[in-house]
Amino acid sequence: MINKVAEYLSREGFHFYEKSFRKFSEDIYIFVVKKANEKSIGLLTQRDFTLSSPYFTERKYLKEIGYYLNLYPLTYENFVILKDKFSIAPSPCNKKVSFGMGDRLGLVTAAHIRAVQNYDVFPVLAQQSPRELMKTHRSFKEAILKAILGVLEEGYTGKFGADADHIKDENYLMEAIDAGYTMYTLDLSDMLVKLSDYTESQLKEKAEKLNITSKRIIEKFKGKKFVMPTEEAFTVSEEELYKSALTYEKAMDFVEKVYGILKDKVKNFDLEISIDEGDKDTTVEDHIFVAEYLHEKGIDFWSLAPKFPGEFQKAIDYIGDVDKFAVELKKHQFLSREFGGYKLSLHSGSDKFSIYKVFSEITEGEFHIKTSGTSWLQAVNLIFEKDKKLFKELYQIALYNLEESKKAYKVLIDKKDFPENINLEDSQIVSKPEIKQLFHISYGVLLEERKKQIFEVLNKYEEEHYEFVRKNVENHFKEIFSK
């Protein structure tokens, strides 16, 4: 049957993705095709089952196989039908290791799936933040549709997640809920009280006004000594615990509000609490306060992202003392077990090869890692290989807009670090840390000015693009799971 379908589609000018061909019942098959760089969902049916908005208003009957064939765009309405009828949809995590693989362009979910197939990893295939969506002019619904299309294209039948990342307000939360996301990462950075903005007397006054829950946590844990399995120990500082309460209490109200909305509107979901933004490393007191406060409020969270020592800059390896990182990670891992068994999450996790092994070992192989820009950089690498002229244009645009792009990301690069005329004969140019950081943060302006040309190259060399991404993500896994 598959050969007959492929022959017909080829005659009609379609590229047929053979891996996508799957059987749902005795009389329904589904597959993915592409024509003029537009991908569609195909259905073979013997009965009256259709999706909405068909490309062909009349059904094509393939007499040789006795099936009707229709092609459809993957609209959100069609996704809902596939979700309801065939359970093709994201779900909460069901494995110890989970890995977020944001796809800024919506082109490489198939490659992400290929990368995980040899590893016991739960892939979070749709992972986007409001910031990324704004810069790419996409929506939460569009991001999830592109992920679903990749799932269908690759014929993937395993479970996968969808993460509404860096949620800071109710509007974006509701958009993600409406789109069907199964993971919600709450970014508390804008809600934290900056203690340096207040005088000592003002802080003392604020401390007196802390709510009952905060005061109870301080009384419960001040001076408490924790002894870890390694026999290393630490004692909770009352002063630091007060600082934690003053810093985080307001943010806890936001978490409580969001949790109530999610419990009301989403059947099953993973909740991640992100406290990794900013310059301040997460202390044990911070961790204790946040975890205990949320549990006292009956909030069941799936993972916590602390701010670890060192620099987690975009597109490059970890900068810092790995031994110091390990010392603090052990404390946070111990606390995650003491306070409920949630995962620790590593944000800005792309290309942090020097700490993957220690992170995996100390967390006992149960953790979440987020990446995003690393896959976008593989698109840049492909363009460098296939279209030097376009790469040079992208470089010049990125360099011209560097200061504006830096406003959204923490990177330590400056315009003076870059030559105005880049040496395109240097095959290692795209591997240089400053070049990687430049392109990592510049995707918004580059898509704004050269999206058509970028997509033309990536669509023309689709398999090569997939291979670049697959190898890159697999390199992460090889280090994470190294023994």
- C-alpha span between 431 and 413 (Å, rounded): 15
Count of residues for the chain? 483
Residue 310, Ramachandran bin (φ over 0: left; ψ between -120 and 50: alpha; else beta): left
- C-alpha span between 6 and 11 (Å, rounded): 9
Helices (H), 351-480: 353-362, 373-386, 388-400, 402-406, 433-441, 443-460, 462-480
Give the CA angle between residues 182, 187, 191 to the nearest 5°: 140
- DSSP structure string for 14-40: -EEEEEEEEEEETTEEEEEEEETTEEE
Say which of 165, 249, 285, 286 is annotated catalytic: 165
Say which of 187, 272, 351, 387 is annotated catalytic: 272
Please provide residue 185's backbone torsions phi and psi, each rounded to the nearest 5 degrees.
-105, 115
Beta bridge partners of 35: 38
Q: Which residue has the tokens 């009301």?
A: 264
273, 307, 283, 291: which is closest to 340 by C-alpha? 291
Residue 153 annotated as catalytic:
no
333 half-sphere exposure, CB direction, 13 A CA radius: 21
In 54-187, DSSP assigns E strands to: 60-62, 67-72, 97-101, 122-128, 161-167, 183-187
- C-alpha span between 299 and 286 (Å, rounded): 17
Contact by Cβ (8 Å): 207, 246: yes
Residue 467 annotated as catalytic:
no
- C-alpha span between 182 and 270 (Å, rounded): 6
- C-alpha span between 167 and 129 (Å, rounded): 7
- DSSP structure string for 112-150: HHHHHTTS--EEEEEEE-HHHHHHHT--HHHHHHHHHHH
What positions carry a catalytic annotation? 165, 272
